[in-house]
A and B are shown apart, each in its own frame.
Chain A
Amino acid sequence: MAKKKLEIDFAKAFAELEDIASWFEQGEPDLDEGMKRYERASELAKSLKEKLDEAENRIKEIKNS
């Protein structure tokens, strides 16, 4: 499970978070939907932060074959 979190597509997750923020900015009146999106946003923000806190850059040399 922890491994899966580190493998999120950072760009996609960040874009989804931005989408949720702009959905809220447009002021849609649907409270149920708002709650769902809020929960999703919290999840996304958490995994994005985890990725930036925990993951390392990985260097691999590609040899001439």
Chain B
Amino acid sequence: MQVLTVSQFVTYVNETFKAIWDPTQVALEGEVSEFRVSQGQWVNFNLKDGDALVSVFMVLGKLSFPVADGMRVRLYGLPRIYPKYGKFSFSADRLELVGEGALQKALAMLRAKLEAEGLFDPSRKRELVRFPQRIALVASRESAAYGDFIRIVDERWRGLEIDLYHAVVQGEKAPASVVNCIERAQKNGPYDAIVITRGGGSLEELMTFNDERVVRAVYASKYPTLAAIGHERDTTLVEEAADVRGSTPTDAARRLVPDRRDVLYEIANLEQGIADALLTKIDEGRITIENATVGAERWLESFRDRVASLLRLVSSFNPESILKRGFALIRDRQGNIVSTMTKLKPGMAVVIGLHDGETGAMIEGKQGKLI
């Protein structure tokens, strides 16, 4: 006969549970009732089915979703007796919601809670820069989402530096992995944007991006965030907390970078506008010369030189547009450009080039005036 003290007995029972109950192999499923949180950190509720009931204990920090009475849940943990009060309970390390109904309900509760805290407030949304240079990408390197995102970025843009933070995007380890990536990116910045993306999946598969810890990490990011999770119809809480939402990974790439063809066109337009404006200035300069008095001859000389050098500069860009403005190019018989009166003699044959063709001409007389 062996006699145990009470402490020894409780320890013995708990050790026995530990030896026979493998939380990686066995889970406990049932319906939640009398759910309550005490001192802001301990969770107690009853888990029951039609015939039986067991008390459950959990640390609040381990709950990633709100739980309410009536939800069907699956618990991973150990049965044990709490030595001080002799109370038997199931001590849960992890709680999973079971069924679409429980997921939807938890999601609605969490959304309401975070919304009340202002996590989705439109007034705090930041805009993305038009030409990003360096971004952080939080995605699984093996995912189709990653491939799609990179492909569209490569199609549209050049010179972008992408720091990939490879994340586990599904399952038990995913929330911590995604949070870890976002937090590391905060330290390695600055980034023009943090892009978080994942392809489509069931509500259960996308739950990582409805996880409170992940949503808060996105909300807290000091760099603007762009999130695209799942398909168009799925909206996760992470996307609601992000500064910009993309409907799909492909759409996220389009929102991140402009199309280089559009930008090249814009550059060409700006350049042409500047050249045109400069030509107008030169035209104005010419009128000034014509109206100037002889007394300003020296000043005019230098002004004319400047006009001439501007013309050379501009013609290197687009000679045709100068001719279109009414200027002519005069060549002698040998094809040399005649740019000064001293080369002209009465009776000399020349070729006059205009923007749309050339014609022969004869010099009749000579006058010493300015153009």
Q: Is the CB of A35 within 8 A of B158?
A: no
> Which residue of A14, A42, A62 contacts B164 across the interface (Cβ within 8 Å)?
A62
Also in contact, A20 and B274, with CB within 8 A (given A38-B313, A45-B267, A52-B263): yes
What are 20 of the A-B contact pairs (CB < 8 Å)?
A: A14-B131, A14-B263, A17-B267, A25-B277, A29-B284, A31-B281, A31-B307, A35-B313, A38-B274, A38-B314, A45-B267, A45-B268, A52-B159, A52-B260, A52-B263, A57-B157, A61-B163, A62-B164, A62-B165, A64-B184
Known: A31-B281, A58-B162. A10 touches B131 (CB 8 A): yes
When distances are taken between beta carbons in the complex, the residues of chain B under 8 Å from A39 are 313
Interface size on A, residues (CB 8 A): 38
Distance in Å: Cβ of A49 to nearest Cβ of chain B? 6
Given A45-B267, A60-B163, A60-B164, 5 new contacts (CB under 8 A): A57-B160, A61-B163, A61-B164, A62-B165, A62-B185
- Contact pick for A32, options B129, B153, B260, B306, CB 8 Å: B306
Total CB contacts across the A-B interface at under 8 A: 111
Q: Which residues of A contact B (CB under 8 A)?
A: 6, 9-11, 14, 17-18, 20-21, 24-25, 27, 29, 31-32, 34-35, 37-39, 41-42, 45, 48-49, 51-62, 64
Q: Are A55 and B158 in contact (CB under 8 A)?
A: yes
Knowing A21-B270, A52-B263, A56-B159 touch, does A38 contact B278 (C-beta < 8 A)? yes
Category for how many chain B residues contact A:
35 or more
Alpha-carbon gap, A31 to B157, bound state (A): 37
Q: Report if B166 contacts A (CB, 8 A).
A: yes
Question: Contact mask B148-177 → A, CB, 8 Å, 1/0?
Answer: 001001100111111111100000000000
Q: Is the CB of A38 within 8 A of B166?
A: no
Q: Smallest Cβ distance from B263 to chain A, in angstroms?
A: 7
Most buried by A among B157, B158, B180: B158
Chain A interface, >50% SS class:
helix
Known: A10-B131, A11-B133. A60 touches B310 (CB 8 A): no
B271 at the A interface (CB under 8 A): yes
The interface centre, meaning the residue of A18, A29, A31, A41 with most chain B CB atoms within 10 A of its CB, is A31
CB distance from A29 to the nearest CB of B (A): 8
Min Cβ gap B151→A in Å is: 11
Q: A6, B184: Cβ atoms under 8 Å?
A: no
The answer to whether B130 and A11 have CB atoms under 8 Å apart is: yes
For A18, the chain B residues whose CB sits under 8 A away are 270
